Structure 1
Amino acid sequence: MSEMISLQIKRKDAGKIKSGFPLLKKEAIVNPHVLKKEGQLLRLVTESGEFLGTGYYGKQNKGYGWVLTTNEREKIDESFFINKLSQALAYRSSFFQNLSTTAFRVFNGEGDGIGGLTIEYFEGYYVINWYSEGIYAFKDLILSALKKVVQYKGLYEKKRFDQQGQYIEDDDFVDGERAQFPLIIKENDVNFATYLNDGAMVGIFLDQRNVRERIKDYYAKHKTVLNLFSYTGAFSVSAAVGGASKTTSVDVANRSLSKTIEQFSVNQLDYEDENIIVEDVFHYFKYAKRKEFTYDLVILDPPSFARSKKFRFSVAKDYQKLLEDTIDLTNDNGVIVASTNYSGFDMKKFKTFIDGAFKAKGERYKILEEYKLPKDFKTNPHFKEGNYLKVVFIQKA
């Protein structure tokens, strides 16, 4: 870390920072030329020199850095990180007592006061996610602080940054003992195989925990289930544990086949009783319509952006069309679980896609329930983009 520099914030943005907005947006900065090296501590001031806060310089797709404190006397040292981590752990104390769920998020970026940093817990192991070179510059301080506030079997890390915003391949192990993989974690008494050392993804998205539980406990029994963009089949497994008559998982990635087979197997479920299809979802729509396949429960959780040989997909532009195709594969009175983790629009906007899709198909619908991020994914109320998850259970009337 280098010497603290003074960064001027435009008048119209200064009030937002005073109120708790944590992101340093490029367009809010008066003198960006002073930013030389990511990890610089920033004394944030108005154009007239009034103190606003202390932050750090770290480029993400979201901005140029994050505010760490608005207290002029607060130093950004090991004690600062110990305090933030301790508060985060206390907030999630009940999760550590829950024997039916052994994986969750223990630190959620700006929601816990340090944008660009998340930490997750997996059955005694911790995984640290660094989202910029800027926050990675504080690695030694943060690791030292973490070691003083938690007991762990081992530490792993994910460097989710480079000049193109891609994941940096590396040996993800940091400290302690190496885990034996697959590491089996529990989520609401369902088993999932995870790999903490295998690239950016570990095998399960923890933010969908409550949605999977609801599918398992309420929606799946005796139902035919289609899971689109299925990744490792976590929704499919939850549905099968919940008594689904048959699940169909569709994903274009070749490794989704072996990963999904593994997830069924660690729950003592016969994967041969299920359909696991490696195919472009857009091709599958055409195939399923031609074969007149329909399902009782369809889970639609696409990535924000996707590209295959013939298709490019963006949630912001294409979700409504994707939902229209999904409606065609849904039985009357069937349920669609429409989901997105895209932070560029809110739930109100998302519902306009739902309404537009059903109107375009001439179908009626009923919204049954909605989900956002679970409690362990703590958010900052002044930063709405941080509460990114939007899930709507829709019944086709």
Structure 2
Amino acid sequence: MNYKYSDLLKSALSKRAQLFDVTDALRIVNGAADGFPGLTIDKFGDRYQMQFFGPELLTSKTEIVEALAALFNPVCVVSKERLSSSGKSLENAPMDVVIGTREDAVGTVREGNAQFHVDLLDTINPGLFLDMRHVRLEVEERFRAMSGESLRFLNLFSYTCSFSVHARLGGAAVATNADISGKILDKGRENYALNGLDLRPGEFFRGNAIEYVHWAQKKGLRFDGIVLDPPSFARFKGFNFNVREHLMPLVADCATILNSGGFFMVSSNYSEFNLSAFARDVLAAVSSVHPNAKTSWKKSQDVDFVGSGSTKDSCLVATLVEV
């Protein structure tokens, strides 16, 4: 076994020790900042995902897998190569099960009071974005601290509905999820069931997030918390969503359906955004509707994303506004 990689893994793990009581799903290697240039390793319970964003360590793949196996005794390790030979980022990345079987790639993880399904072979995203963990946990805490029996939460570009699971566990009466993918919303329903949550009317909307917000405006719906976490680009029924062009107008529209006393979290992984400018623009858009709005925080990725912002594959701008 290559003790160099074993020692690097142990060192990386020690940096994340504070998360062990919170979750068993975390990033244990975040590229060069952990001594592994071009490579990230994510832990999903007993399953591990390796993603190569550059060629630097591809020739050492076997040695790194051996070090992973010796240190963690994983049920499954999946390797994904996210960069083509021409240097172009791949969304349909080649995947290789290097430990275990394809069936072993499916399981559940724990995050605070919640559990989530994951599938390491379901495209490049296993079902849970690890860099939003700290915000999901805060959403649950905020709903737990609110008073009222009819609290409503809106999760736009909801993916597998993990924000909504936390909102419901915190006491939200209804957590509405909007996403263009029926398959993804079905995975959200599975996450509800995994956490013992019943499905309530109005909680799942298949369609464009902008379309849902405009519908909610017409219906006079109001929400006590909103999360807007869009992809940089998305296409639905001929409409091309571009985060640079369409995000801030959507933020302003969302503000019109946000109750006073509520909160609004907006985030993006678009690498060209600057955190301070992003937070300022979000506050300005919300303040056009709620003049007394204030920024509660602005931040990037959590402690397991060491060196966040230093590479395009590890970047996040996020801000939370209270009204």
Native 8 Å contact 1:172 1:196 kept in 2: no
How large is the Cα RMSD of the aligned pairs? 2.6
Unaligned segments of structure 2, at least 5 residues = none
Partner Cα separation in structure 2 for residue 314 and residue 80 of structure 1: 43
> 2 CA distance for matches of 1:88 and 1:246?
39
* Alignment equivalent of 1:150, drawn from 64, 72, 75: 72
Cα shift readout 1:337-394 (whole Å, capped 9, x = no counterpart): 112222222221112311331354473311223443211111169x386762232221
Partners of 1:169 and 1:341 in 2: CA distance: 19
- State the one-letter code of the partner of 1:337: M
Instruction: Indicate the larger mover: 102-111 or 260-269.
Output: 102-111
Select 1:114's aligned residue among 20, 36, 41. 36
* Pairwise CA distance, 1:312: 2.3
How far apart, CA to CA, are the structure 2 residues paired with 1:161 and 1:284? 35
Shift of 1:83: 3.4
* Mapped pair 1:138 → 2:88: no
Please say if residues 299 and 338 of structure 1, whose CA atoms lie closer than 8 Å, have aligned partners that are also in contact. yes
Counterpart CA distance in 2 for 1:179 and 1:89 is 27
Q: CA deviation at 1:331?
A: 1.7
TM-score, normalised relative to structure 2 = 0.88
Percentage identity across aligned positions? 29
Determine the C-alpha separation between the residues in 2 that align with 1:123 and 1:333.
Answer: 37
Q: Does 1:312 align with 2:234?
A: no
Task: Flag the 1:273–1:307 CA change in 2: closer, same or farther, 3 A.
Answer: closer
**Secondary structure, aligned partner of 2:271:** coil
Counterpart residue number, 1:71:
none
Q: Is the 8 A contact 1:320 1:356 kept in 2?
A: no
Whole-angstrom distance in 2 between the partners of 1:110 and 1:314 = 30
Structure 1 residue 90 corresponds to structure 2 residue 14:
yes
> Higher Cα Rg: structure 1 or 2?
1
In 2: Cα distance, 1:146 partner to 1:209 partner = 23
Give secondary structure in 1 for the equivalent of 2:266.
Answer: strand
Q: Which runs of 5+ in 1 are unaligned?
A: 1-76
Q: Hey, what does 2:316 align to over in structure 1?
A: 389
**DSSP-derived class of the 1:138 partner:** helix
The residue number in structure 1 matching 2:81 is: 159
Amino acid at match of 1:268: G
How far apart are 1:134 and its partner, in Å?
4.7
Q: What's 1:194 paired with?
A: 118
In structure 2, do the counterparts of structure 1 residues 321 and 153 end up closer, same or farther at CA, with 3 Å as the change threshold? same
Task: Find out whether 1:374 has 2:306 as its counterpart.
Answer: no
Q: Aligned runs of 1:248-287 on 2, under 5 Å?
A: 248-273=176-201, 275-287=203-215
Which one-letter code corresponds to 1:165 in the other structure?
A: S
Cα shift readout 1:146-190 (whole Å, capped 9, x = no counterpart): 334332222112222335422345554211455556411110020
Shift of residue 273, structure 1, vs aligned partner: 4.9
- Residue of structure 2 aligned with 1:209, choices 119, 133, 136: 133
Conserved in 2, the CA contact under 8 Å of 1:228 and 1:301?
A: yes
Separation in structure 2 between the aligned mates of residue 103 and residue 249 of structure 1, nearest angstrom: 23
Partner residue, 1:37: none
3-state DSSP class of the match of 1:298?
A: strand
> Counterparts of 2:265 and 2:57 in 1: how far apart (Å)?
35
Question: Aligned partners of 1:170, 1:346: CA distance in 2, in Å?
Answer: 31
| 1:290-329 C-alpha deviation (Å, 9 max, x unpaired) | 2122211111111122222343233333321121111112
Q: What does the per-residue CA deviation read over 1:224-266, in whole Å, with 9 as the maximum and x for residues that have no partner?
A: 1011000010001110011101111001112122111101000
Determine helix, strand or coil for the equivalent of 2:254: helix
Q: Secondary structure at the match of 2:122?
A: coil
Counterpart CA distance in 1 for 2:14 and 2:114 is 25
Cα displacement (A) at 1:111: 2.2
What SS does structure 1 have at the residue aligned with 2:231?
coil
Instruction: Tell which has more relative contact order, 1 or 2 (C-alpha 8 A, sep 6+).
Output: 2
- CA 1:247–1:254 in 2, change beyond 3 Å: closer, same or farther? same
CA contact (8 A) 2:152 2:224 kept: yes
TM-score, normalised to structure 1's length?
A: 0.73
Say yes or no: does 1:237 pair with 2:161. Answer: no
Alignment-derived partner of residue 228 in structure 1: 156
Are the counterparts in 2 of residues 303 and 341 from structure 1 also a CA contact under 8 Å? yes
Give, in whole Å, the separation in 2 of the partners of 1:174 and 1:318. 41
**Deviation at residue 94 of structure 1 after TM alignment:** 4.6
Distance in 1 (CA, whole Å) between partners of 2:153 and 2:290 is 23
